[in-house]
């Protein structure tokens, strides 16, 4: 238990503290008796379906802490929805909110003299932010996930054959297909009504579920906590699996305090390797590269983008989840959740089994009773290691080259390029909106490489996701024939031939700034290169003449202005 002799709350019957407590509705004598002050850090908002159940969960946690004689104190943080910001002028606030949330949680925890912390995550960036204050403060603690959206179904093709596995990705791609005349209004309306029957994060292996997977696989969330549905439908209470996770998490927290196990005892280097291995085997989002590097930095664990690359080279893709596969996250939950994937990886020698987790037991102990995918009743959600969906190294790769001297990420989602490389003609844009407009007017054709630049962490600022552009490419049937390269990011929903996170970014004088319409660009996953097909002399001459464009107009004192001044490149996780 925490040492109460040094606790702020141990003097709570006296003077000003008693006044403050009474005014806030607490009984000072009870506060003195309490054996732990637990920060319930949560990003609640009623603005969107990803985090609108968080308040209910946070209240449940407060009650559960109180029932053990402790005191749960709510600390809030902004929960930015990617669905609400992508493609808009406010898209930069998404990545920026990751660090802002972590700061809010750290501030509330220390200012309220917390001994421990339970973080309720949710939409994409909240998942990354959840682990950052735990690693930073090293307060006893763990993460609870509010859950992902239940998938829907319709009775017309090509979606009927997906059964009960439709997600937001299906609606977005159908919406783009409608624009291209490939889907009727009635079908689109039906999809709009049916893809998401209730609350929860985007329902497959997109960024929110990638980060919940990371939290579970790194050992900071109870087993099977990364995949539960948020509710039964929009009118229901939170799902029973969420309630059970929340209540079990409070018990686990007290066990961790008794054992003296803190986040940095769990988030060690081997645990980071486990997290990346698991997320990669499940086809996680490119955003994991940014977030894992940021969390490792908070935990004081040396971990680089090349470490992630080395892991990806040995890990096959075994979870059959969208966007690369067919199933929704809830389907994984039904066959046993992330532990089934981890069991397969552990048996194959791809995980470190001796790391501690928030159960108070090692990873291997947690997985002892979990079945291998091949021993489950007939299912094709998780494939055996010996028969993977894709061989190692075919999901996301770190490339370098004349267009990315520092690094960039190629996302192929388990697919391979027909000729071993993609060679195409550049069509250059300075915004996602301009690229989408060109796509709509038919200026982008098969064989093109769409270049979107000056949308990096400094340039945008905030490195927005090019999801609407990738959705348009897929919806128009160009996903395999047009590549996209950018110094911005991608959503976990995005798939195709995609190169993002190009570093240095255009706004920092990166060579993406010298690409011209009609240039030939070569993407080669085998050599791990991204190159502009011009001579070194021509490249040097263009770089010498390069003038970086004026930065977009952002107030110096604004959150975006501060971010622009402080942020590092995507190569280092966009840390501040
Ligand atoms: Fe929240 Fe996708 S918009 S998880």
Residue 446 burial (CB count, 10 A) = 10
Atom of ligand 1 nearest to the CA of 493: 2
Q: In terms of C-beta density within 10 A (0-12 exposed, 13-18 middle, 19 or more buried), how is residue 509 classed?
A: middle
pLDDT of residue 7: 65
Name, in order, each residue with C-beta under 8 angstroms of 574's C-beta and a sequence gap of 6 or more: 95, 290, 294, 457, 463, 567, 568
d(CA 11, CA 512): 60
Q: Is the CB of 458 under 6 A from ligand 1?
A: no
Q: Is the CB of 465 under 6 A from ligand 1?
A: no
Q: Is the CB of 96 under 6 A from ligand 1?
A: no
Nearest to 491 by CA among 381, 411, 415, 390: 411
d(CA 339, CA 335): 10
295: left (phi over 0), alpha (psi -120 to 50) or beta: alpha
- Picking from 87-101, 211-225, 328-342, which range would have the lowest pLDDT averaged per residue? 87-101
550-565 per-position pLDDT tens digit: 888 899 999 999 999 9
486 within 8 A of 473, measured Cβ to Cβ: no
- Give the sign of the dihedral formed by CA 9, CA 10, CA 16, CA 19: positive
Q: Is the CB of 285 under 6 A from ligand 1?
A: no
Q: Is the CB of 515 under 6 A from ligand 1?
A: no
3-class DSSP state of 416: coil
63 phi, psi to nearest 5 deg: -65, -40
d(CA 262, CA 358): 9
476 within 8 A of 180, measured Cβ to Cβ: yes
Q: How far is the CA of 150 from the centre of ligand 1 (A)?
A: 13
Q: How far is the CA of 123 from the centre of ligand 1 (A)?
A: 5
Residues in the chain: 576
Pocket test residue of 45, 50, 93 for ligand 1, highest count of atoms within 8 A of CB: 50
Strand-pair partners of 362: 356
Cis amide linkage into residue 158, ω under 30° from 0: yes
- Which of the pair, 573 or 7, is modelled with greater confidence? 573
120: left (phi over 0), alpha (psi -120 to 50) or beta: beta
160-216 per-position pLDDT tens digit: 888 888 888 888 888 888 887 888 999 999 988 888 888 999 999 999 999 999 999
Q: Is the CB of 123 under 6 A from ligand 1?
A: yes
Q: Tell me the mean pLDDT in the region 111-119.
A: 94
Match 């190159």 to its residue by tokens: 531
Atom of ligand 1 nearest to the CA of 49: 1
Catalytic residue among 121, 491, 494, 552: 491
- Which of the pair, 356 or 197, is modelled with greater confidence? 356
Name, in order, each residue with C-beta under 8 angstroms of 536's C-beta and a sequence gap of 6 or more: none
Q: What percent of the chain has pLDDT over 90?
A: 76
Q: How far is the CA of 79 from the centre of ligand 1 (A)?
A: 10
Nearest Cα residue to atom 2 of ligand 1: 202
Residue 299, token pair as written in the block? 């935990």
Q: Is the CB of 205 under 6 A from ligand 1?
A: no
Residue 93, token pair as written in the block? 């606030």
Topology of domain 396-572, CATH: Glucose Oxidase; domain 1 (3.50.30)
Pocket test residue of 94, 202, 205 for ligand 1, highest count of atoms within 8 A of CB: 202
Pocket test residue of 79, 80, 83, 84 for ligand 1, highest count of atoms within 8 A of CB: 83
Atom of ligand 1 nearest to the CA of 124: 4
Q: What percent of the chain has pLDDT over 70?
A: 98
333 within 8 A of 308, measured Cβ to Cβ: no
Q: Is the CB of 282 under 6 A from ligand 1?
A: no
**35-150+200-375 CATH choice from 3.90.226.10, 3.40.50.2300, 3.30.450.40, 2.40.50.100:** 3.40.50.2300
Q: How far is the CA of 284 from the centre of ligand 1 (A)?
A: 14
Atom of ligand 1 nearest to the CA of 48: 1
Delimit the domains of the chain by residue range. Answer: 35-150+200-375, 160-194, 396-572
Q: How far is the CA of 144 from the centre of ligand 1 (A)?
A: 16
pLDDT of residue 156: 85
DSSP labels, 479-500: TTT-EEEESSB--TT--SEEEE
Q: Is the CB of 43 under 6 A from ligand 1?
A: no
Q: What is the largest CA-CA distance in the chain?
A: 77
Strands 497-503 and 116-120, by their bridges, are unpaired
Strand-pair partners of 358: none
Q: Is the CB of 81 under 6 A from ligand 1?
A: yes
452 phi, psi to nearest 5 deg: -115, 115
Q: How far is the CA of 251 from the centre of ligand 1 (A)?
A: 29
Strands 396-401 and 404-411, by their bridges, are antiparallel
268-319 per-position pLDDT tens digit: 999 999 999 999 999 999 999 999 999 999 999 999 999 999 999 999 999 9
Q: Is the CB of 493 under 6 A from ligand 1?
A: no
Q: Is the CB of 428 under 6 A from ligand 1?
A: no
d(CA 231, CA 222): 19
Strands 497-503 and 483-486, by their bridges, are parallel
237-258 per-position pLDDT tens digit: 999 999 999 999 999 999 999 9
Q: Tell me the mean pLDDT in the region 393-402.
A: 93
Nearest Cα residue to atom 1 of ligand 1: 123
Q: How far is the CA of 249 from the centre of ligand 1 (A)?
A: 24
pLDDT of residue 4: 46
Q: How far is the CA of 86 from the centre of ligand 1 (A)?
A: 10
416-473 per-position pLDDT tens digit: 787 889 999 999 999 999 999 999 999 999 999 999 999 999 999 999 999 899 989 9
Q: How far is the CA of 53 from the centre of ligand 1 (A)?
A: 13
- Known catalytic residue at 5: no
Q: Is the CB of 341 under 6 A from ligand 1?
A: no
- Picking from 23-27, 295-299, 464-468, 566-570, which range would have the lowest pLDDT averaged per residue? 23-27
Residue 425 burial (CB count, 10 A) = 13
């Amino acid at each position: 238990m925490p040492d109460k002799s040094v606790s702020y709350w141990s003097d709570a019957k006296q003077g000003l503290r008693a006044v403050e407590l009474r005014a806030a509705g607490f009984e000072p004598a009870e506060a003195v008796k309490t054996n732990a002050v637990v920060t319930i850090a949560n990003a609640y908002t009623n603005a969107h379906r990803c985090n609108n159940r968080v308040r209910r969960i946070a209240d449940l946690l407060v009650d559960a802490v109180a029932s053990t004689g402790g005191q749960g104190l709510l600390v809030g943080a902004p929960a930015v929805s990617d669905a609400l910001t992508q493609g808009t002028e406010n898209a930069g606030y998404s990545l920026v909110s990751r660090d802002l949330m972590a700061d809010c949680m750290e501030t509330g925890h220390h200012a309220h003299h917390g001994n421990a912390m339970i973080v309720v995550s949710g939409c994409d960036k909240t998942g990354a932010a959840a682990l950052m204050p735990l690693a930073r403060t090293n307060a006893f603690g763990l993460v609870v996930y509010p859950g992902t959206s239940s998938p829907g179904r319709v009775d017309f093709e090509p979606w009927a054959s997906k059964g009960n596995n439709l997600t937001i990705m299906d609606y977005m791609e159908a919406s783009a297909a409608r624009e291209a005349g490939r889907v009727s209004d009635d079908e689109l309306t039906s999809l709009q009504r049916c893809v998401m029957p209730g609350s929860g994060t985007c329902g497959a292996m997109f960024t929110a579920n990638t980060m919940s997977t990371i939290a579970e696989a790194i050992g900071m969330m109870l087993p099977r906590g990364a995949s539960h549905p948020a509710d039964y439908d929009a009118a229901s209470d939170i799902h029973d699996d969420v309630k059970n996770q929340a209540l079990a998490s409070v018990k686990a927290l007290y066990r961790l305090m008794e054992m003296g196990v803190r986040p940095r005892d769990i988030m060690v280097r081997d645990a980071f390797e486990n997290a990346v291995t698991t997320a990669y085997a499940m086809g996680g989002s490119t955003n994991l590269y940014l977030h894992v590097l940021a969390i490792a930095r908070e935990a004081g664990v040396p971990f680089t983008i090349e470490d992630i690359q080395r892991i990806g080279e040995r890990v096959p893709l075994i979870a059959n989840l969208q966007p690369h596969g067919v199933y929704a996250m809830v389907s994984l939950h039904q066959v046993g959740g992330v532990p089934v994937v981890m069991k397969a990886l552990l048996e194959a020698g791809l995980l470190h089994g001796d790391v501690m987790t928030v159960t108070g037991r090692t990873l291997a102990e947690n997985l002892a009773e979990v079945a291998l995918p091949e021993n489950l009743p007939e299912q094709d959600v998780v494939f055996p290691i010996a028969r993977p969906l894709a061989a190692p190294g075919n999901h996301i790769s770190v490339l370098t080259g004349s267009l990315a001297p520092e690094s960039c990420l190629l996302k192929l989602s388990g697919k391979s390029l027909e000729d071993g490389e993609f060679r195409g003609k550049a069509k250059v844009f300075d915004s996602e909106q301009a690229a989408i407009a060109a796509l709509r007017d038919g200026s982008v054709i098969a064989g093109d490489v769409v270049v979107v630049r000056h949308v990096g962490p400094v340039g945008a600022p905030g490195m927005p996701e090019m999801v609407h552009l990738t959705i348009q490419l897929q919806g128009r049937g160009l996903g395999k024939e047009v590549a996209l390269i950018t110094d911005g990011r991608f959503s976990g929903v995005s798939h195709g031939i995609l190169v993002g996170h190009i570093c240095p970014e255009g706004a920092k004088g990166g060579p993406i700034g010298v690409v011209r319409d009609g240039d030939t660009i070569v993407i080669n996953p085998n050599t791990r290169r991204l190159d502009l097909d011009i001579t070194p002399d021509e490249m040097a001459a263009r770089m010498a003449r390069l003038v970086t464009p004026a930065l977009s107009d952002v107030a110096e004192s604004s959150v975006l202005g501060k971010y622009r001044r402080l942020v590092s490149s995507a190569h280092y996780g966009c840390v501040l």
